[in-house]
Structure formats: structure tokens, C-alpha cells
Amino acid sequence: MATRFLSRAEIGRLESFPESIDRRGLARFSSVGGEDLRFVRQQRGAANQLGIAVQLGALRWLGFIPEDLTAAPPEALVPLADTLDVSPRVIFDYAVRAPTRAEHRLLVRAHSGFRPCSERELEALGERLVEVALEHERPSLLLGRICELLRGEQIERPSIDRLVRLVAWAGERAHQVTFQRVGSQLTDPLRATLEGLLASAEGARSQHAWLRARPTTVSAGAMRRELEKRAFLIEQLGADRFDLSGLPPNRRAWLAQTGRQSSNQAIARLAPERRYPVLMCFCAEALERATDDALEVFDQALGTADRTAQRKREELLRRSSRDTQTTVRRFIDLSRLVLEAHDSGTDVLRLIDRRIGLDRLRADLERAQGIARPAGDGHIDLLIDGAAASGRKLLAAVIASIEFKRTGTDDDELLAALRTIGELAGNPRRWLPGFTASAFIDQQWRPHVVDTSRGRLDRRAYELCAAYELRSGSARRAGVGAGQPPPRRPGKLPATGRAVAAHARRVRRGCRAAAGQRRAPVDARRGASPAADRARARPRP
């Protein structure tokens, strides 16, 4: 922290009267009555009485007495002069002699209950200021805080120069305390690993720069890179085991921000007692951010696939409206030919080939098959055909890096499904036995997942259904409180960029609360939600 953070002009403003006064300050400044009024009336002459009253009001309002009493705001000086029944202009005649003013200052201080600021009291306030400096790094805020402490303790404020030096000392002391609170964890191997984050070979970026980078695309590769960062932070650095609870939250956030916004060269130039806390907080935040970003990519990728399937369904509906008439006319022609062949005893196949043509009939059949839609007229089948491969890759990457735990009474089936999917990684089998956990599959997905005739489950559809169920659970656990609207369904994500960002932040907050250490429990769902609530957050027909 800089020792001098105020210009001379700023110091001058802080050591004099403000240009204006608010209502609360006016009440403090002008409240002269009873004992105060008798104390002021004891002075001889109108100038001395107004000068004493101005000093008394300034000490209660500002916590100190400015040198130039004539600079008091007119809106404060005029009511005070009216109370004393004197002219405001007599303030210019007050106490030309310095000994008189010093004597009056002592009298005002004694009457108001204030006391001078001793070195011992200043040291005690400095120790209290260190705790504030651990929470807030801004020098101007610390200066305002110590002025409040002085006024609350009824201690007359010393010069601004003296307080500026105290603020600078408190800032440096806060850095020392920070290092002391985390220093016991800084073993030699950890120090070497943290230093390695800042090293960069020629032409290659440092690990620090790699950890700072955020994903720019929504893909399995982008999510895999974030999970690699997470694995590096846990396995190589042990960032999940950093104990930063001794630091206030604001301190941790400020140190992490310093590490995030500074280059590796700038951090390397810091003193060790400042560099290591910055890197530790940066790595702890990077661990949370990597988990957030991985889960956000997972969420956005599945949402994009869902919207793509819906758009494809809408396009099919538009096409079907054009092709339906052609198909109906072809059906009428075929019906007439069949009846004609029956009545005349002619071979129906030869009649169809002669009148319509088998090639055209095959084309008409293909068009009719494109128009036909499964029961329910939803888009789940299109979602499975278009996103099964990518969705399964995303899910496999997530469950390979993060373990999930139950948070509600209906989560066991989903967790069992995730365990089964993880165990089958690399296994080419196409179908799953009917006794596989499937209670989490709702009515929209069940026709596409369950083969009731053979008592088995389609593995592609099963894994994609589990991925969307996990995503919908993450959205619900993102923290929709009482009185807030429910989370949006995956098929209807917010349209605007700001709304999408807000939705992603809700999802990340919920996932951050759930995602802990590698292979440490992470909430798979957003609490004990009933089946009806669970169905709301899945791709809808």
C-alpha cells in the first residue's frame, strides 16, 4: 500500500471545513443550548462567543477543529449566529492571537468530552484498523474508517499526515498477518510448485496464464480442458486442501482478483510474503471457476442440442404441411388402383407399376415416413439422433471427474444410473438390462429408452436422458428461493444474452455449492423434488 495516497489538495480539503453540510451534520453543528449555551456565554465579546461555538460544533461534527473557522459553511454558521444573537461576520474578528485560540481549544475539548489523541490510543486504533485492512484494501476507505473510530471514541482527530502513515502501516501489517495465517501450509514442495506456475518457457505461456484462460466455445473439448485444469489444481497443487478460513472473505476475494488480473511477471516481482497468499487464493478460486466453467459448458451444450432438435422438429412440421397433400393424393390413387385391380381381376402390382411406377412409389413412401412422427409428436427422438454422441461424451467427462451425492429422497435412481454409466465407459454394448435403475425416466423419455417388448433399455437414449436429468437437477439446485420464479426448462432457455448469463450464473452457483474436491461428493440434484417437478426441467415436446 502506498504511503502517500492523497494529493496536497486532498489533504487540504480533509483538514478544513467541507463546502456544504448535510442535515445530520447541521444538527450536530448547531445544537447549542442549555449547558453549551451557558459555556459559550461565559466568553467575553461576540467574536469570542461565536468562535467558541463554531469550534464546539466543528468538534462534534467533524471530530477535529479546522484552523480556518471563517471557512465554515454559511448554512451552518448563520443559524448558529442567530442562536447567539450575534452577526455571522464577527467570526472574522475572532482570536487573532495564537495563545488565545489554543486556550479556547482546550476549553472546548474539555467541555465537549473529547480528549487528545495519544500515541498509545493511536497504536490501539491501528491494531483495530488492521482487521479492517484485512477486509478492505482501499486506503481511502481505511482513512474514513479510522476517522469514524476516533469520533466514536471522542478522540480529537490528529493531522491527516499522521493518519495517512497509520493507514499505510495497517496495510503492510495486514499483508504480514495474511502471510502468517497461511504460512504454515507453505511447505517447500508447495512453494516450488507455486513458483512453477509463474515460469514460462520461450514461446509458451505459463501455467498461471493457462489457469486464467476461460472457455470460448461450447464443446466437449472446452469442457475437457476445464476439467483438466481442475484435475491439475487438485492433484498437483492440492488446491482443494488449502485452508483459507483464517482470511476474511473479502481478503480472499481481493487476493484472488490480484492473481487473476496480474501477469505472471507482475506477481513474480511481489515479495514472497505477498506472492504466496496471492497464488494460493488465485488457485482456490481457479478451482471453483474451472468447475463452474465445465458445468456451464455442459449446461449450454445440452441446451443448444435441445434447441437444435426443437428447430428441426419445427422444420419437419413445416415440411409436413406441404407434403401431406401429396401423400394423401397418392393414397387415393393407390386405393383406386387396388379396387380397380380387384374388380377387373388384374394383377395389382403390374397395374401400379404401369400407372404410377415403383420408383415414384418408393419416393412417396420415403416422404410419408418423413411426415410420420412418434406418439406425442415431441422432439426427443430428434434429440437422440442428433445429440446422443456429443451428449454422452459430455456426461462421461463430467462423471469421470466429479462424484455426485444425493440431496433428496428420489436421487438414488439417478445416482445409480450415473454409477452404471461410469462403469460401462469403454464398453461397446448397445442395450442395458431391464433391471437397470430407471425410475428417474419420465413419460416423455420412456418410449425412447425402454424396449418393453424385450425388457431392455436403449443405452444411447438412457445416457442422454441421464445427462438431461442431471442438468435439470443442477438448474433446480441453483437456488430458486421463496417468491422467485421456477427455473426455465431446457427447451426454453432465455433468449437474450443478459438472461442467458443470469441463468448460467444461477446454474454455476448451485453447482459450485455442490462441486467439491476431486471425487468428493457433489450434489446431483437440487433437493427432494417430486416427479412432477422433475419433469418440468426436461426437454419438452
Predicted confidence (pLDDT) at residue 25 exceeds the cutoff of 60: yes
Q: Which three cell numbers stand for residue 499?
A: 438472461
pLDDT at position 528 is 35
Q: Which three cell numbers stand for residue 264?
A: 505472471
- How far apart, in Å, are the Cα atoms of 325 and each of 364, 373, 394? 12, 16, 42
Number of domains in the chain: 3
Question: Mean pLDDT lowest for which of 94-98, 313-317, 385-389, 502-506?
Answer: 502-506
pLDDT at position 474 is 61
Q: Report how far residue 41's alpha carbon sits from residue 43's, in angstroms, rounded to the nearest whole number.
A: 5
Q: Which three cell numbers stand for residue 39?
A: 459555556
- What number is the average pLDDT over the span 487-496? 36
Question: Contact, 330 vs 365, CB < 8 A?
Answer: no
Q: Report how far residue 187's alpha carbon sits from residue 528's, in angstroms, rounded to the nearest whole number.
A: 43
Q: Which three cell numbers stand for residue 36?
A: 453549551
pTM: 0.68
The chain-wide mean pLDDT, for the chain, equals: 81
pLDDT at position 371 is 64
Q: Which three cell numbers stand for residue 481?
A: 428461493
Q: Are strands 431-433 and 403-405 parallel, antiparallel or unpaired?
A: unpaired
- How far apart, in Å, are the Cα atoms of 400 and each of 224, 231, 519? 11, 11, 9
Question: Contact, 42 vs 97, CB < 8 A?
Answer: no
Do 84 and 124 share a domain, yes or no? Answer: no
Tell me the range of 23-27, 243-247, 356-360, 503-507 where mean pLDDT is highest: 243-247
Question: Contact, 401 vs 295, CB < 8 A?
Answer: no
pLDDT at position 19 is 87
Do 451 and 405 share a domain, yes or no? Answer: yes
Please indicate, yes or no, if residue 196 is contained in any of the structural domains.
Answer: no
pLDDT band at 529, cuts 50/70/90? very low
Q: Report how far residue 492's alpha carbon sits from residue 465's, in angstroms, rounded to the nearest whole number.
A: 17
Domain stop point among 58, 78, 112: 112
- How far apart, in Å, are the Cα atoms of 393 and each of 15, 20, 115, 476? 66, 65, 72, 23
Please indicate, yes or no, if residue 463 is contained in any of the structural domains.
Answer: yes
Do 515 and 385 share a domain, yes or no? Answer: yes
- What number is the average pLDDT over the span 148-168? 90
Higher-pLDDT residue of 85, 328? 85
pLDDT band at 534, cuts 50/70/90? very low
Do 518 and 402 share a domain, yes or no? Answer: yes
Tell me the range of 1-15, 29-43, 279-293 where mean pLDDT is highest: 279-293
Predicted confidence (pLDDT) at residue 165 exceeds the cutoff of 60: yes
Predicted confidence (pLDDT) at residue 175 exceeds the cutoff of 70: yes
Please indicate, yes or no, if residue 484 is contained in any of the structural domains.
Answer: yes
Nearest to 1 by CA among 123, 210, 141, 206: 141
- What number is the average pLDDT over the span 3-12? 80
Backbone angles phi, psi at 433, to 5 degrees: -65, 155
Can you say how many angstroms the Cα of residue 470 is from the centroid of all Cα atoms in its chain?
A: 21
Predicted confidence (pLDDT) at residue 495 exceeds the cutoff of 50: no
Please indicate, yes or no, if residue 130 is contained in any of the structural domains.
Answer: yes
Please indicate, yes or no, if residue 316 is contained in any of the structural domains.
Answer: no
Which one-letter amino acid corresponds to residue 218? V
Q: Report how far residue 310's alpha carbon sits from residue 317's, in angstroms, rounded to the nearest whole number.
A: 11
Q: Which three cell numbers stand for residue 305?
A: 442440442
- What number is the average pLDDT over the span 139-160? 89
Question: Mean pLDDT lowest for which of 111-120, 397-406, 517-526?
Answer: 517-526
Cβ atoms within 10 Å of 78's Cβ, excluding its own: 14
Domain stop point among 56, 90, 112: 112
DSSP string for 219-230: SHHHHHHHHHHH
pLDDT digits (tens, 9 = 90+) for 404-445: 776 665 568 888 888 888 888 888 888 998 888 888 888 889
Please indicate, yes or no, if residue 401 is contained in any of the structural domains.
Answer: yes
pLDDT digits (tens, 9 = 90+) for 444-491: 898 889 988 888 999 999 999 998 888 887 654 443 222 333 333 333
pLDDT at position 220 is 83
pLDDT digits (tens, 9 = 90+) for 202-235: 778 899 999 999 998 888 888 989 999 999 999 9
pLDDT at position 410 is 59
DSSP 494: -
Q: Which three cell numbers stand for residue 258?
A: 490480484
* Helix (H/G/I), strand (E/B), else coil: 404: strand
pLDDT at position 357 is 83
Do 65 and 156 share a domain, yes or no? Answer: no
Q: Report how far residue 274's alpha carbon sits from residue 223's, in angstroms, rounded to the nearest whole number.
A: 32
Predicted confidence (pLDDT) at residue 526 exceeds the cutoff of 50: no
Question: Mean pLDDT lowest for which of 18-22, 201-205, 301-305?
Answer: 201-205
Domain stop point among 87, 112, 137: 112
pLDDT band at 369, cuts 50/70/90? confident
Backbone angles phi, psi at 521, to 5 degrees: -60, 140
Predicted confidence (pLDDT) at residue 493 exceeds the cutoff of 50: no
Do 97 and 137 share a domain, yes or no? Answer: no
Do 92 and 47 share a domain, yes or no? Answer: yes
Q: Which three cell numbers stand for residue 275?
A: 506472492
Do 400 and 526 share a domain, yes or no? Answer: yes
Do 474 and 408 share a domain, yes or no? Answer: yes
Nearest to 166 by CA among 185, 184, 146, 152: 146
Do 439 and 529 share a domain, yes or no? Answer: yes
Segments in 424-518 forming alpha helices (H): 446-449, 459-477, 497-514
- What residue numbers bound the domain in which 54 lies? 8-112
Nearest to 432 by CA among 460, 412, 413, 411: 460
pLDDT band at 536, cuts 50/70/90? very low
Sole residue written with cell 461428493? 521
Do 142 and 17 share a domain, yes or no? Answer: no
pLDDT at position 262 is 93
Please indicate, yes or no, if residue 491 is contained in any of the structural domains.
Answer: yes
Q: Report how far residue 392's alpha carbon sits from residue 201's, in angstroms, rounded to the nearest whole number.
A: 37
Backbone angles phi, psi at 432, to 5 degrees: -115, 150
Mark 84-121 as b/e (b = at least 16 C-beta within 10 Å): bebebebbeebbeeeeebeebbebbbebbebeebeeee
pLDDT digits (tens, 9 = 90+) for 182-193: 999 999 999 999
Cβ atoms within 10 Å of 196's Cβ, excluding its own: 13
- What number is the average pLDDT over the span 380-397? 84
Do 388 and 406 share a domain, yes or no? Answer: yes
Q: How many CA atoms lie within 13 A of 433 on its CB side?
A: 4
Backbone angles phi, psi at 269, to 5 degrees: -80, -10
Please indicate, yes or no, if residue 283 is contained in any of the structural domains.
Answer: no
Nearest to 431 by CA among 412, 455, 464: 455
Radius of gyration from C-alpha coordinates of the chain: 38
Q: Which three cell numbers stand for residue 381?
A: 427422438
